[in-house]
Every structure is written in C-alpha cells, then in structure tokens.
Structure 1
Amino acid sequence: MVRVVTAGHVNWDVTLRVAALPAPDGEARISSQRRSGGGSAANVAAAIAGYGAEAGVIGSVGDDEPGFLARRELDRDGVDVSALRTVRSAETTVKYLIVDAEGEVMVLGNEGANEAFSVADLDPTVVRDADHLHLTSQRPETAERLAGIARDAGVTVSFDPGRRLSERDYGDLPDRVDLLFLNQREAAVALASTAPREAVAGTDRVLVVKHGANGATVYSDEAVVESPGFDVDPVDTTGAGDAFAAGFLAVVLGAWDGVARETIRAGDFDRALRIANACGAMAACEEGARTAPTRADAEEFLVDRRSVD
C-alpha cells in the first residue's frame, strides 16, 4: 500500500447552518448543527485512507473531550494516530463554521492545541517510512523541518497552505515541494506577478490551482491540464478543498488503483483532476468538513456525469 502521512491541524468542528448572517446587533436562527472532526490534515488523512492509502496524521489535540472525539473518529476511519500528540492541560482547537444558504462559510475558532506540536515531539521514522508527506496549514518552522526530513529521505512532499497563507511567511517552501495546491486567491499571494506556467518552468514541481465550482488546472513543465467543475448545488463548502486534495493525491500516488507510483506523472493529471473535482463537488453537497465521498460513490458519480455529458 501507498503510505501517506499528513501534517497540520486536527480540530473539532461545530457546523451551524443559518439562512443568512445577522446584521450588527441582530440575530440569526440556526437551522441545523453538526459536530465532527475537522482540520485539513485530519480531513485529508481520513479521506485518503478511504481511497486505498495507508494514512497517518501528525499534529496535536488537547487533553479534553473534543480531543478524545477527534482522535477516536480518525482511528475509526483507519488513520494511524500514533503521531497525534495529546497536549496536557490544553484545549483542542474548536472551529465554529457558520454556513449560509449558498453554502459559503465563515469560520470562528480558538487557538487551541493544534499548533502545539513541534518536530521535537516526532519520531522522524514516521516521515522517513512514508511514501508521501502532505503538509497543510501549520507554523512555518514546523512545515519547513518536516519537509526537510522528507526530502532527506527521498519522500515526495505536497503542500496546501490554506487561507492563512497571506498571514504567514513560509519563505521559499512553496517553491521546494513536489506538489503545491492553491486556490485562486492563494495563487495571487504565492505567485505574485508570476504566471503559473512560468512558476514551474524548468522544474520538476507541479502546481494545482483550484477554481472552486469552475474546476481546476494543473501546471507542470511538461503540460498544462484543465478540467471543468461539476454542476452541483453546494450545501457546505467546508472541507471540499481537502476532499479535492485527497482525491488528486490518491490518483497520482497510485493509491486509487492499488499500485504505488514511483514518480508523479503528467499522464495521470487529467484523470486525477476529474476525480479530485468529483470528490470536492460531492463533499460540498454535504454538511460538515469530514464529507469526502467514498471511492465507490465518486466513481459512480463520474459514470453518471459522463453519461449526461
């Protein structure tokens, strides 16, 4: 099996659905509530475990009920949680996700324990024994050191820095990973005035730019591959990007087909994008962050869409 280790945030999410956000000094009625595990590292690990990979997660939770629940849920989903640190006398990070009628999300959260983890807490063999390391939002120094361990061991690295990219200085780390995931807003920050194709020209790096409902594009020195999105009615876009990343990684690493890939191949990009777009679209049609579809459901979705197209 392909072993994928993710690193970053492990949260407990409370999703609240409202018709619209209230005006100042106003009030909005909550139409539904959902509680589940969240955090990009946890979401990708849980999804890719369902897509045929052996998955593990690196991060930290508090010594409290949300931390216990988040750990138990990951373990239930088949994720190795041996490198998930429990921080004594600390609270697990809890995110309150306010979702409006259009499926758009506003996030409120406490700092909590999800960045208490440091590389000093980690047995390096957790990374060295992996086939791939997927970095998500976390302290830049932690991401840099984890990437260094992976590179020294010949482990490929992907990075999805998320919405806090503009607030953090990751230095040249985004330029030194094998695979970088960005949405359009993040690409404007990370690439500045450089065109995506120019950013990867003459390198072995792969850049995936997500366009939300309009699909995504992969840029590499070999090719530019575009794939349109799917026409769905979004309910909650929380976690859709994580489902997309898990689907894409599962294909290019070979987990989806049960055959490990030694390299990330341009020939897989078209299929990887189509599957990733399907995973993201289906996740957006469900409430909560941990809503990536099963592999069987994603494949059925693609068959149905192909027949319509």
Structure 2
Amino acid sequence: MEYVWLVVGFALLVKGADWFVDGSSNIAKLLRVPPILIGLTIVALGTSSPEATVSIIAALEGTADVSIGNVIGSNIFNITLTVGLAAFIFPLQVQNETIKKEIPFTLLASVALLVLMSDIFLQGLSSNMITRSDGVILLLFLTIFMYYIIEVGLKSRKESREEEISNEDISWGKNGLITIIGLAGIIGGGQLVVTNATEIAYSLGMSETLVGLTIVAIGTSLPELVTSISAALKKESEIALGNIVGSNIFNILFVLGASSVITPLAINEKIFTDIWLMIILTILLLIFSRTKYRIGRKEGLILALFYIAYMVFIIIRN
C-alpha cells in the first residue's frame, strides 16, 4: 500500500506545482510586480513550509540535530540539485537585482548563522548553541529582508501604474484559488512521499540515520524541486530561481529563528562541515549567476553533480 500512496504523493506534487506556478505567475501580473518577488515571497514561503513544520516540531521534541540538519541539508539540496535540474531543463535568466542583492543576502544569512553558532571558537564557551537571542537576531534579519522586498514591490508598482493587464481571464479569485489548491497539493503530496518512502526504506533495512539524511531531507525539499522544475518548463526563470533563493533565506532566518526561539538548539560538531559547504555553494551560485546573467545547462550539470558527491560524502561520514 505504501507504494500506491507514494505514487499518489508524487502525482499531487507534480499537479500541485503546476497550478501553484500558474497561479503565482498571474498574481505577479495582477500585483504589477516582477515574478522574482513572488518567487522570493509567496512561492518560497509556501515551498518552505515542510522544512518549517519538521524543524519546529523537532525543536519542540528536543531533537536539535533534526531541526538544524533539515535546514542545512535542504539548502544544499536547493542550491545543487534543484537549481541544477531546473537550469539543465531550461537555462535560468538571472536579474541584475538577484545578483547584486538577493543571492548576497542568502550568503549573508548563511555567514550570520555560522557566526551565531560558533560559541566555542568565538566566545570560548563550553558548547555551541543557537540560543533564543540568536533566534531573535535571525528573525530581525528576516524583517530587514521583507522590508527590502516590500520596497522593491512598491517601486515596481509605481513604475508600472500606467500599464494595463491585457489578459481579461486573469482574476484574483480564480488565481488565488489555484495558488492555494496548488500549495495544498505540494504540501500534502510531499508529506505522503516522505512518510511512505520512509516506511519503504525501513522495510528494506535502511538505518534511521541514513533515512533522515536522504529521504527526509530530500522529501522536505521536494516542493522546491518540483515547483522550480515546473517553472523552468514554463520558462518562468524568475519564479524558478526566486523560489530557491527565497526558500534558503526563509529556511535559515525564519525556520531556524523560530525553532531556536521556541527552544535553544545544541549544535553537533559535524554540522559545521555542512554549513561551510552551504556557504561555498552559495558563492558558486553567485559566480555562475554572473556569467552572462544566466545559469546554463553546463552550470546546472555541475551543481547536480555536486549534490551526488555530497550524498556519497555524508553516507561515508555517517
């Protein structure tokens, strides 16, 4: 029965992503804002909801490794496999603002997280923790990011005030409903995939650690993967890339910020390697974005291969 539900989950993910991208793209037109802003906000927050759910529940249950590992693993998955596959399907055009501000802000959030959790090295304490005050700092960074998004959105609306929407079929009610149903399909489908794939993995004799590092981490990132691939197929590069960049920002600032405010998170020493890798990959994404303002198929393939290498590394390490 698990195999049947697994197929149902994937079907929900694919169709949900299809509707979610269509609805989000049309909402961007109705709001008269660039699609990248919708990707950075509505789409990113929606596809980050599985990570938020898993990490906050893990924090409440006192399993900090799951909470932190889920975020770092998901971000690495997003930068490598999600961007890689989306770019391989259809080269992603990168806006100037994305190169100058959004990707650097992702890098800033990653470095801020590294600094906040390096208590032994920077402060000489006996253990590394993301404390409640650290969580507040992360949430303040999120406030700054949201202020920037609102400012860009208002500026864009002012510049396009005189423009009229040519497609009479675009309406708030229809596209709002499509977006909500699509998001529900993505979240529900992702949950079905994670739950049933985990059951199948256990039945095949996989260890709990390996299941957590592979199926659960990948499962919570499936919404980003499917949404970005669907956007790439529809040639909505801004939504595809905005989804990744926005999701990674929300994962660090909102998910870990909220989780650590609920309860301080103890840091496993192993995770520092993964955070450094996340920072290096974010820099690599920035470099690729600067080449002709696009992430091409060759760069996409390189990023996807990085994820395969990372998977081999964590399997050997653990």
Q: TM-score, normalised by structure 1?
A: 0.29
Query: Which structure shows the bigger proportion of residues in helix conformation?
Result: 2
Query: Which structure shows the bigger proportion of residues in strand conformation?
Result: 1
